[in-house]
């Protein structure tokens, strides 16, 4: 990924965070006021690097660390998948991605977000975000689901990804699925400098481990418990 693309993604993610801080988290605090003491954005860089964007504190004193993940490059695309990062290259070294990497072990819950803009031709801004669809997924449950159904886990993901890379490189645009000919599949973003190795996962698969789906606009937050 070029520096300009990387910086743009960081900026876009920050804008989505501002939108959620303004139109989402206050509504959730009020809705679940009997259970939630506070929801606050984490500005500690060290904790951000460990996969903590937002901290939810319950009335019992327990903390839930939330990692916001947004498909910022696909606003208004209505894509039916989300990308789970397994690894990537940095300084020609293969680094662990956020799904299994020990560096990101502070994350408790993912908030996977898809977005739409008011005006698709204008740049992203808080004012220009029309709608965010968000899936709340416990990290531990997502990892268990992938282990139980697709035999990929913390112990074997490196070896599995190496095998997948070899299979993908055998043929141009070859699709390598985790199991069978459907469901999650491996993907390498060759056009990016970091060449991330990802698992492209359909939304209908993610729904199997999703606790709550939120449809967020400036006017209301629709909540669907699963």
pTM: 0.92
* Residue percentage of the chain with pLDDT more than 90: 78
Pairing of strands 210-216, 176-177: unpaired
Lowest mean pLDDT segment, chosen from 79-93, 179-193, 195-209: 179-193
189-205 pLDDT, tens digit each? 766 666 788 999 999 99
**Mean pLDDT confidence for 181-196:** 80
Q: How confident is the model at residue 181 (pLDDT cuts 50, 70, 90)?
A: confident
CB-based contacts of 65: which residues, under 8 Å, 6+ apart? 42, 47, 51, 52, 54, 55, 106, 107, 108, 109
How high is the mean pLDDT of the chain?
92
Q: What is the DSSP string of 14-42?
A: HHHHHHHHHHTHHHHHHHTTTTEEEEEE-
How many Å apart are CA 3 and CA 27, to the nearest integer? 35
Interacting residues of 12 by C-beta distance below 8 A, sequence separation 6+: 70, 72, 124
Rounded (5°) CA angle 30-33-37? 110
Q: What is the pLDDT of residue 131?
A: 97
The predicted pLDDT at position 173 comes to: 64
Q: What is the DSSP-derived secondary structure letter of residue 96?
A: E
pLDDT digit string (tens) for 22-51?
A: 999 999 999 999 999 999 999 999 999 999
- Residue 2: pLDDT over 50: no
d(CA 149, CA 103): 25
Task: Look at residue 3 in the predicted model and tell me its pLDDT.
Answer: 47
168-177 pLDDT, tens digit per residue, is 888 766 789 9
Is 115 a residue whose pLDDT tops 80?
Answer: yes
Backbone phi and psi for residue 129, each to the nearest 5 degrees, phi listed first: -80, 125
Q: Indicate the length of the chain as a whole number.
A: 226
Q: SS in 3 state form for 111-168?
A: EEEEEEECCCCCCCCCCCEEEEEEEEEEHHHHHHHHHHHHCCCCCCHHHHHHHHHHHH
């Amino acid at each position: 990924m070029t520096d300009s693309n990387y910086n743009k993604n960081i900026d876009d993610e920050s804008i989505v965070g501002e939108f959620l801080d303004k139109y989402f988290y206050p509504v959730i605090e009020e809705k679940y006021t009997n259970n939630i003491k506070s929801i606050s954005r984490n500005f500690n860089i060290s904790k951000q690097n460990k996969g903590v964007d937002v901290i939810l504190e319950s009335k019992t004193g327990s903390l839930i660390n939330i990692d916001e993940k947004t498909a910022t490059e696909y606003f208004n695309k209505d894509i039916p998948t989300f990308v789970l990062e397994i690894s990537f290259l940095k300084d020609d070294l293969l680094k662990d991605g956020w799904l299994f990497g020990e560096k990101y072990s502070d994350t408790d819950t993912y908030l996977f977000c898809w977005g739409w803009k008011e005006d698709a031709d204008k740049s992203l801004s808080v004012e220009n975000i029309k709608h965010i669809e968000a899936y709340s997924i416990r990290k531990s449950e997502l990892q268990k689901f992938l282990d139980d159904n697709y035999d990929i886990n913390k112990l074997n993901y490196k070896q599995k990804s190496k095998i997948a890379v070899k299979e993908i490189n055998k043929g141009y645009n070859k699709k390598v699925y985790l199991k069978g000919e459907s469901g999650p599949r491996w993907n390498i973003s060759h056009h990016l400098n970091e060449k991330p190795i990802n698992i492209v996962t359909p939304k209908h698969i993610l729904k199997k481990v999703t606790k709550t789906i939120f449809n967020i606009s400036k006017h209301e937050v629709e909540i669907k418990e699963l």
